[in-house]
Chain A
Amino acid sequence: MFWFKKLLPRILFGIGIALIIASAFATQYGVKTSSSWSIGYNSQSTPAILAAVLPTGSGIAQINITGVSQALYLNLTGNPLTLLGEAGGLGLKTVNTISHDDFQTGVYYLVTGLQGNPITAEQAFQGLVKNAQKIGNSYVVKKSLNPEESIVVLAFPNSSTVLITESFKVTGYGHISLINGLELGLALAIVSIIIEIITRKR
């Protein structure tokens, strides 16, 4: 098994180097576990507004909306953007779509206006939706999401500007700490060098 003795240190060395680089990278540019995004949305020509939080992983999503008379929400599995296409089929048109992508938190925030008959919009989502909780002047939706799930809020403005704050907190994620990663990486690299030296001496 001469080849294997040769291969083993190479593999250990590769893993060691990768752990050192990845741990250092994670500290500088790695995942953020929470993020939020706020926008003042001009709702003068839009009878309804759709706000969505689309994460890639699991976590707790929260949407706060101020300046609306009613807010309904629904949980979706799969790609919620297809919902917009289906809304189009009901005579509803999406306008003035604004989005924000936070790659490090793995979440995509979206706000879009819906033009058309607001009653149609309400009817279109009826049966699927639940009423959002009202806290003070704001409607608040806070939901725990599994991977491949997203949350969509349908709101009906009663002022010219609607203030929307969307946030997401990642749950179920964790990675090796910088110090553990460096220690393990270094240990593997050293072990691989020792094995290589012993093999060569033999």
Chain B
Amino acid sequence: MSLKKSWELALIDLWDSLRPPSFDIMLILVATLSGILSVLEPVTTPPAVGNAVLGAVLFVTSLYLALRASSDLVNLVQTGVMPLYLTYPISRRNISLIIYLTRVLLPSIILLGIPAIVAGIMLYPVVGKNISEFLIMWIAYLIQAQLYGSIFILASNKSKSTGTAAVVSITGYFGYTATSLILALVGSIDNIKILTNIANSMGLYNPVYDILNGIRTPTWEIFVVPVIFIVLFITYVIYFTRRFEV
């Protein structure tokens, strides 16, 4: 029964989350981007198709999620829609999960999924060789997007200010990617293997790609992004359940 109530609230919130035209513009943008990227260089294996297409799409999707989380979520609070949600007989934990589903998970599934479908159609002779490998790469990118999304949603819930949330989100995103880049650079220049490994592990798609291509990779690299994501996600749910006020 509680699940049914939560689902109805999710449908209400999805209406706002996926409303045109900004979502449609993004959809066409990322789909076209992936179509173009898929024919730009000759990728000959399904994981390589994933990397060639989804890397750029992840960047665009992350920026979109950051901006929408900071503006829309804060708007929900400021316009009184979030207080309305909280007056329904639905637990705070479920509402936090609904908000995550509608504001992060579903938009990222669509914005990463549609480009993957386009790339799959464009390069069907390549992707068709091993669809499951292509799917595994896609899931790796999706989990990476969840990591960024949970930073954004946490920032907007905590700050409840569009400006602050946007700054924290964008800083968080670029800070994370810049750290990974610097570690990779230092690791490569000074030949410090552990730094290279850490940098590699900060993008889940790197170790996943390596493993799918038979390149030897430390197993722990696969767990770094999921663990950071789970920690951030749990923090968000606990914050929303126990401390979030409107």
Contact = CB atoms under 8 A, between A and B. Distances in A.
Interface in A132-167: 147-148
A148 B215 contact: yes
Interface stretch (A51-59, A62-70, A120-128): A51-59
Given A10-B24, A31-B39, A19 B121 contact: yes
Contact of A58 (B45, B118, B125): B45
For the complex, would chain B's binding face be called helix, strand, loop or mixed by DSSP majority? helix
Nearest to A14: B27
Contacts of B31: 14-15, 17-18
B83 interface: no
Interface string B1-44: 00000000001001100101001100110011011101111111
Contact of B126 (A7, A10, A29, A174): A174
Interface residues of B, number: 37
Given A103-B40, A184-B121, A21 B35 contact: yes
B21 to A, nearest CB: 10
Interface string A3-16: 10001001101110
Given A11-B110, A11-B114, A78-B215, A29 B45 contact: no
A149 to B, nearest CB: 10
Given A14-B27, A78-B215, A148-B215, A31 B117 contact: no
Contacts of A22: 32, 34-36, 38-39, 118, 122
Contact of A170 (B40, B42, B118): B42
B41 A104 contact: yes
A29 B39 CA distance: 8
Nearest to B17: A3
Interface of A: 2-3, 7, 10-11, 13-15, 17-19, 21-23, 25-26, 29-33, 56-59, 77-78, 103-106, 147-148, 170-176, 181, 184
Interface of B: 11, 14-15, 18, 20, 23-24, 27-28, 31-32, 34-36, 38-45, 48, 110, 114-115, 117-118, 121-126, 129, 213, 215
Given A22-B38, A173-B126, 6 more contacts: A11-B110, A15-B114, A56-B43, A171-B44, A174-B124, A174-B126
